[in-house]
Structure 1
């Protein structure tokens, strides 16, 4: 959760802001009614602020002094104002504010909230700027950094490809047309040989007066085109629209890999990723363990309390497992069974890790109808790579059967099952 400094003197606007911002689970707004109060809040040092949402004209700061103050604190700043003034807008944008929002109704405040959410997300979005002019490259990079994008730059198409290879998580590439060694068209065509439009957004730029450039860029594989010089707000609208497109595609893909009941990865995804991880471990001779986890006596829970309570138990246990296995690959295999892949852990360490999770789950009683009961699980853990991920799961399954035979609520590893 990010802490936001909100400064607004109007009681009505403050009431609307409180209502709108309270709907976000991502931000923690700290409110001030005056410039003096805002400075006092900052001076106390009780909060580490992520950004600021401020009124342009306050009783004790009528000329936008609060904007200069928050910018001086290096806080991304969104300005609220009662009226639109193009000259004032240009002056504020030149100072380096993130955005300028006119108080014209609830949508305006919802838009401001959307900008705050975008700033939070942007920290994880890597953008490559390809421009041979150092002045233009710096200008575009600076604009993107105002919105907290993670920016990398390159001075031509050849270096852009090198940057992509070194940073495969780049989401957006912004490229000029006229560049030495490899121009924008050649760069786009080369990149599209490896990256789909849904994996990497490419936005073409040019100051050339040729009206066909936009069509040529898009025909060569670009997602969008923007003519220089461009309006700041149009630039960010295009960037935001395209990054939200990428995020939507990622959400759809992720949903296809998730179990509907628990939100854990599904069996299909586990086998796809697990096979690759297992092969890399075999090639690198690095330790790898797999765990097969099964809830104890789950059939009796379903029989006694019904499937609705049974599903609730699976969801709660899945939440606990997801938290505990957050740095590993966890999937719901089906029913009350889960798979977990633990790269870097040998059998002894993996058994100890899974056993600690078993203790955590057992120590958190679940409500079953009008009663409370501890939910336990048994697990088998194997580090025998075999010839495939199926072989690993077979070995872990044999360990799990041994654990069940001993009465359950126990973790058995390779050595224990001999």
Structure 2
């Protein structure tokens, strides 16, 4: 993420907000404007920003500018002092990135965390497994607003093929699908990938608590019961990605040599089993190369 547009007409609030953002994101360029007229000029000039953070009420707008920004394909985070569920739903109907109540910003902590998440999501991918094309398109539209690369599959079998060919960080899967349903897909997935390796969020309209328990016991990281709102989906996805980042950082610290940055033997023990399982499943040969370094103890004693 390189450029963010901030739209705020309150000069005092604008100054405090900008200071907090610059302190946390020195690599990002921020531009500030205050009116709907300035927004129209930016839209007409086709100037692009990676994210727009906008107040609802401006001197010449009572929120109309949000729709214009979204229609011009800007990713918009709405900030407002209005805590109203109906208005909130109207904003999410415009496909905004998020909706933040100013009184709940807690010194901008949530906004800063959101920008960090959106920035990190540029290198993250998610696989949507759902047999209904309109539903897949609905999920895809929401998740692409979160800066995620989105892959699609209509059943578990096609999903497994995509996973073997692409780098996937998370799975969002429906339960009831033809050929291979979500539960069978999860069983196959967990043979090779742990909950840490590849988080799995199950989706179903099934209200049976036993179904939820079965998914969780099979290795689902989370469960979403239909119907759910856009905001809940966004929160669940981003919370799971936050947890994935944290656990992978801990794992990397345990399997990587701090001095050289190279993987240690703990990593070899873990990855070898997965590579062998994948080799057997895809029926391709494996080779192993071993290097014997002379006087390694002296090197280790000197350099660690």
Pairing partner for 1:205 from 203, 206, 210: 203
Q: CA deviation at 1:171?
A: 1.1
Indicate if the aligned counterparts of 1:81 and 1:102 stay in contact, CA closer than 8 A. Answer: yes
Mapped to 2, the partners of 1:172 and 1:150 lie a distance apart of: 11
Matched residue, 2:33: 32
Mapped to 1, the partners of 2:104 and 2:128 lie a distance apart of: 36
User: Are residues 1:228 and 2:223 paired?
Assistant: no
User: Are residues 1:14 and 2:14 paired?
Assistant: yes
Q: CA deviation at 1:205?
A: 0.6
Matched residue, 2:3: 3
Q: How many residues align?
A: 277
Which sections of structure 1, spanning at least 5 residues, go unmatched?
277-386, 395-418
| 3-state SS, counterpart of residue 265 of structure 1 | coil
Select the structure that is richer in strand. 1
What's the CA shift string for 1:143-180, capped at 9, x where partnerless?
A: 1112121111111111111111111x211111111111
Matched residue, 2:106: 107
Moved more, 34-43 or 171-180: 34-43
What's the CA shift string for 1:323-373, capped at 9, x where partnerless?
A: xxxxxxxxxxxxxxxxxxxxxxxxxxxxxxxxxxxxxxxxxxxxxxxxxxx
Matched residue, 2:215: 217
| 3-state SS, counterpart of residue 23 of structure 1 | helix
Indicate if the aligned counterparts of 1:102 and 1:108 stay in contact, CA closer than 8 A. Answer: no
Alpha-carbon distance change, 108 to 151 in structure 1, aligned in 2, over 3 angstroms = farther
Alignment TM-score, normalising by the size of structure 2: 0.82
Moved more, 19-28 or 81-90: 19-28
Matched residue, 1:50: 50
Mapped to 2, the partners of 1:267 and 1:129 lie a distance apart of: 32
Which sections of structure 2, spanning at least 5 residues, go unmatched?
273-288, 296-304
Larger radius of gyration: 1
User: Are residues 1:85 and 2:84 paired?
Assistant: yes
Mapped to 2, the partners of 1:43 and 1:390 lie a distance apart of: 64
Matched residue, 1:255: 253
Mapped to 1, the partners of 2:187 and 2:136 lie a distance apart of: 21
| 3-state SS, counterpart of residue 23 of structure 2 | coil
Q: Quick one: higher RCO (CA 8 Å, sep 6+), 1 or 2?
A: 2
Alignment TM-score, normalising by the size of structure 1: 0.61
Indicate if the aligned counterparts of 2:122 and 2:148 stay in contact, CA closer than 8 A. Answer: yes
Mapped to 1, the partners of 2:232 and 2:48 lie a distance apart of: 31
